Amino acid sequence: MSSRTFEDKQPQPQQAASGFEFLKGVGQVAGGTLLSVTMLTSSIVAGGLVGLAVSFRNLPDVRQLRSFLPSETTYIYDIKGKLLSSIHGEANREVIPLDRISPDLKRAVLASEDSDFYYHHGINPKGVGRAVVTNWSAGGVREGGSTITMQLVKNLFLSHRRAFTRKIAEAVLAIRLEQILTKDQILEMYLNQVYWGHNNYGVQTAARSYFNKSAEYLNLAESAMMAGLIQAPEEYSPFIRMEKAKEQQKIVLNRMKELNWITQQEYDKALKQPIKLGKIRSFQGSALPYVTNAVAHEIAKKFGREALLKGGMRIQTTVDTNFQRMAESTVKRWHEILSGQGLSKNQIALVAIDPRTHFVKALVGGVDPKTSEFNRATQALRQPGSAFKPFVYYTAFASGKYGPETVVYDTPVGYRDGSGWYYPRNYDGGYGGAMSVRTALKLSRNVPVIKVGKAIGMNKVVETCRTLGILSPMEPVTSLPLGAIGITPLEMAGAYATFANYGWQSPTTIIVRVTDSSGNVLLDNTPKPLQILDPWASAAIIDTMRSVINDGTGKNAAIDRPAAGKTGTTSSEKDIWFVGTVPQLTTAVWVGRDDNRTLASGATGGVMVAPVWRDFMLKALKDVPVEKFKSPYQFSRPKSN
């Protein structure tokens, strides 16, 4: 750089004579330059204004906020209203009306963020001026000058990258928004939209997380601490830095005092008020994972995953928490017992249904949801073995050609099946000759049920299963009556529950009702039973299955009250079952291995699963009155086709 001074640059004495010409020339050049600069500046300003005009024309339409629905957390409750789980996407939010938000919190937020909120029209020149002075004094950005309206449109429409153009866009959108919404509407939207830390969006989820209470009941001390979080939620979080949170609380209280919104006495009291923290809730697991996972799957299937994650649904399930936990503890206990009996790596699924409503009362998808989220009650397609036989005999009863005392023959037989011959065998390898259907079922004989199935038509059996709501794939093959197909425990329990209700059925469900966050009903599963099966045939199959427990393969399931059921054991002992019912409760229990290997040689449903069913039912029915099944004679027998 040159070391010459300003004086060194002035014209020298010998140049003075020509100074006028020099100045004139300079003037001409300067005039031309000034004109050029002026024209250039005008062009830039004009271009900038045109650019801004185009930019503003392309800004989002704030009118859509009239019908704006923020993403909200979905909550799942048990039958008595106990919270089981919350499900959300990125934003954990519960929307709450402005009149249900603590006045202290509203004042604290306004004092901290925009004390002139109710007096400006979207932008606040006084606030901008104050921010400039504050930032100048601090030597950096300490205050933004944004109004609450500007913050709201930034959160909803704009990126958070700091830029001059973004601030202008904020201002324009804020002015537009103030023209279509009231101040209260804007404040309500802001308080429900703003981020409060730890994945809490909106005042309600934040209040429940930080202080374990509704935003409606926050006191001044809690409100000031909450308001102080907005600028840097995680940095000032009382869960992480209580001292920082207290500093922010004091700043907010000071501002409220300066504004004469609180008295000195209120200020002092709030500073001394003990803060009792809640706990971070946003990423908590479910209280009953198998139940809530089944609910989430059903809701996503019906309404879509987006609605589940962001729709703010309130889902009431059919399950009572205490009853479900009793079922889970029963499963865990019997897992250990069966492991000790040689059934290593066993898994257990249990589904209990009220046959009068088809409401699921308990749903256990495995031994431990912490080690495996796979829900075997609803997702595992396992062979039911002989537990399938009642579907065949019901179909025979409904045809009018068979009854519980009809004679069938347990004798050798062979059928051409596909390219070869199929020779059904009984579990013990022998044959029993002539016997009643009742005896054939209670002793779980294989040959008679196949003969009956062939006589009435396997297509009719498949049709019965579909009517009962069993949707799992099945073909009308000769071996179908022996349960060589995949069925879920939920499907089995639902089908037996329909028998127990004499053919009346509502869709099996784990959900009572679904509403949105405003209480509007989205789904109502109030039972609307339809008669889908023949009542006499249903009562007859229940009566026949009573013999299974009274003096058949299910004797280990006896519970000192009228009960009907059926054991199930597949070839190679891979799946063992007991499905049974009383008039008030139907329960299916399955035991098997996830790798589909043999449990143990000689493992049967009657020996190893019936006791599990019995243990659960005794607990479940402890305070339930004994009720008898209706006799088949109370219904008209169908005429033979």
What is the β-pairing status of strands 200-201 and 195-197?
Answer: antiparallel
Alpha helices in 512-592 (DSSP H): 535-551
Burial of 571 (0-12, 13-18, 19+ CB in 10 A): middle
Catalytic residues: 113, 386
SS (H, E, C) 415-457: EEECCEEECCCCCCCCCCEEEEHHHHHHCCCHHHHHHHHHHHC
Token output for 576? 């063992």
Distance CA 227, CA 595 (A): 54
Cβ distance 423 to 447 under 8 Å? no
Distance CA 113, CA 97 (A): 20
72: which DSSP letter?
Answer: B
Burial of 164 (0-12, 13-18, 19+ CB in 10 A): exposed
**Number of CB atoms found within 10 A of residue 373's CB:** 12
Residue 513: C-alpha distances to residues 30, 79, 316, 519, 521 (Å): 82, 10, 5, 11, 7
What is the β-pairing status of strands 74-77 and 314-317?
Answer: parallel
Dihedral sign for Cα atoms in the order 281, 287, 289, 291: negative
Distance CA 640, CA 146 (A): 83
Packing angle, helices 446-456 and 458-467, rounded to 10: 90
Q: Identify the residue whose tokens are 């790798």.
A: 595
Half-sphere exposure of 569 (CA within 13 A, CB side): 25
Distance CA 220, CA 103 (A): 9
Closest to 617 in 3D by CA, of 334, 347, 391, 317:
334
Closest to 168 in 3D by CA, of 194, 145, 185:
145
Q: Identify the residue whose tokens are 């008679």.
A: 448
Distance CA 599, CA 2 (A): 95
- Any bridge partners for residue 410, and if so which? 433
How many residues in total does the chain contain? Answer: 641
Distance CA 397, CA 451 (A): 14
**Number of CB atoms found within 10 A of residue 628's CB:** 9
Give me the phi and psi of 523, to 5 degrees please.
-150, 130
Closest to 193 in 3D by CA, of 253, 116, 109:
109
Burial of 636 (0-12, 13-18, 19+ CB in 10 A): exposed
**Number of CB atoms found within 10 A of residue 277's CB:** 16
Give me the phi and psi of 581, to 5 degrees please.
-155, 150
Distance CA 564, CA 584 (A): 12
Distance CA 157, CA 393 (A): 64
Packing angle, helices 148-157 and 164-180, rounded to 10: 110
- SS3 label, residue 592: strand
Give me the phi and psi of 421, to 5 degrees please.
-110, 145
